[in-house]
Amino acid sequence: MSSGGEGESESGEVKWSKRQRLTVSATQTCSEPWGSNPHLSLPFDLIEQILERLPVKFLLQFQCVCKSWKSLISDPQFAAKHLRRSPSPTCLILSFVNLTRHFVLRSYTLSHVFNAPAVTATHLCYPFNNRNRFDLIVGSCHGILCYAVDQRLTLLWNPSTRKFNHLPPLDNQRSTGSFTIYGFGYDHFAHCYKVVAVFCYQCNGRYATQVKVLSLGTDLSWRRIQDFPSALPFDESGKFVSGTINWSSSNDLGSSVIVSLDLQKESYEEVLQPDYGVAVVFWTLGVLRDCLCVLCHGDTFLDVWLMKDYGNKESWTKLFRVPYTGTSDSFPYTKAICISEDDQVLLEFQSELAVYNPRNGTFKIPEIQDMNKCMTPEIYVESLISPCF
C-alpha cells in the first residue's frame, strides 16, 4: 500500500491539485514552444483570446510571466483587439487643485459611482508632479487622455499604463486676449490620433482664428488647416464623436450653431440641432453613449437630446427631462457625463456630481471619497493603447 503522500491515491495514481496543474502549465508554456506538449499547455490563439478579456491591471502584471506573454501584451495589435472587447468607459477621473495648490487626479470605478453607497478613490500620478496650477482636460479617446498644459503645450497620457507623450509646442504669436481651444480624437481612415488647436486672437477689433492639426505617428509637427468657419467656439474643448470634433459657436447672423470638423477630410460642416419645441435659454454640447448630445436648458428644466445617427437631423431623440431642484435661474447642470446600462445618468450638478434616474425621477448624490467641488470630470476606458507613436 502506498504511504499516502500528498497528491497520491491508494492505487498509486497521482492526483494533481488545481494549483499544481496551473504551475506546471505555466512553467511548460514558458519553457517550450507554444503547443509542444498538448497535455500541459494551451494553443497560442486560445491563450490570446483569454488574455484579451482580462482587465489592464492584470495584463500589466502578466507581462512578467514569460517572454511570449510580454511580447503579446506589448503588441499594438493586441492592444487594439483588447480595446474592441471593452469599448465602454469604465472609470471616472476628477481633476482639481488641492488645498496645497497641487494638481491632483483621482480615479473612480463608474459602476461604484452609480451603485455603491460610498466610492473609494484611486490616486493617479500625473506626469507633471507638484504642479501648482490647473491643467484642463481636453477629452479622452480609447483610454488616452489629452490635457492642455497651457496655451501652447499639450500632453497625451494613458493613466492605466502610465505612459505619456509631450507634444511639440505651438508656435503661435501670443498676444493680449489670445487663447487656444483644443480638440482630440481618432481618424478612422488614417488610423491615427489627432490633436486640433484653435488659436483665437484679436485682429482689427475683432477675433480671428488659426487652426492647426498634429497627427500622431507622423513627424509630430503642427500643420495649419482652414480657419474656423464662424465666430469663436464657446466650448472649453471640442467634443469627439464619429470621427469628428464638434464645438458650439455662432454664425454670421448671431445664431448659435454646432460646428463640426471632419478629422479625415479636415473640413467643416454645420450640424443641425434638434427641434426643441420649447423656449431654449441656452444649450451645451456633450457626448453620451458615443453619440453627440445637447443639454437644452429651459427656465425650470433641462432636456437631454441624443443624435443617434451622427449627421442625421431626423435621428435627434429627447432622452428625458431633468427638473431643476434649486432656483429656476441657476441652470445647475453643466455636463452630462455618462449613462449607465440601466439608464441612470451622471450629471455635473452645481459643482458636484449627481445621479438622476429618469425611470422614477429620483436624484442621489454619490458619496465620493476625496472629491473637490472645484473639479473637472471626465470618463475613460482602461486600455493598453500607447500615446507614444
In a domain, 370, yes or no: yes
Spatial contact of 245 and 211, defined as CB atoms under 8 Å apart: no
212 and 265 inside one domain: yes
102 and 126 inside one domain: yes
State the cell numbers at 126: 500625473
Parallel, antiparallel, or unpaired for β 375-380 and 91-97? antiparallel
287 and 321 inside one domain: yes
pLDDT at 304 over 50: yes
Is pTM beyond 0.75? Reply is yes
Last residue of a domain, one of 37, 68, 84: 84
Q: pLDDT at position 106, please?
A: 92
User: Mapped to the 3 state alphabet, what secondary structure does 362-388 carry?
Assistant: EEECCEECCCCCCEEEEEECCCCCCCC
246 and 337 inside one domain: yes
pLDDT at 258 over 60: yes
Q: Could you tell me the end-to-end alpha-carbon distance of the chain, in angstroms, rounded to an integer?
A: 65
Domain membership of residue 308 as a residue range: 87-380
- At residue 83, φ and ψ (nearest 5 deg) are -65, -40
In a domain, 387, yes or no: no
48 and 149 inside one domain: no
For residue 337, what are the CA distances in angstroms to 140, 193, 207, 285?
12, 22, 31, 11
Backbone Cα Rg of the chain = 25
In a domain, 122, yes or no: yes
Q: pLDDT at position 100, please?
A: 79
In a domain, 2, yes or no: no
Average pLDDT over residues 309-338: 83
179 and 78 inside one domain: no
63 and 208 inside one domain: no
Average pLDDT over residues 308-328: 86
Last residue of a domain, one of 36, 53, 84: 84
50 and 142 inside one domain: no
Query: How does pLDDT run across 21-57, given as a tens digit for each residue?
Result: 333 344 444 544 444 455 457 787 888 889 999 999 9
| Residue 304, domain CATH | 2.120.10.80
In a domain, 3, yes or no: no
In a domain, 6, yes or no: no
Q: What angle do CA 330, 337, 210 make, to 5 degrees?
A: 85
28 and 138 inside one domain: no
295 and 205 inside one domain: yes
User: Mapped to the 3 state alphabet, what secondary structure does 298-357 carry?
Assistant: CCCEEEEEEECCCCCHHHEEEEEEEECCCCCCCCCEEEEEEECCCCCEEEEECCEEEEEE
155 and 168 inside one domain: yes
Q: Lay out the sheet containing 144-148: strands in order across.
A: 136-141, 144-148, 154-158, 163-166
Nearest-angstrom CA–CA distance, 242 and 310: 7
271 and 165 inside one domain: yes
Last residue of a domain, one of 84, 114, 133: 84
Count of domains observed in the chain: 2
358: three-class secondary structure by DSSP? coil
Q: pLDDT at position 24, please?
A: 36
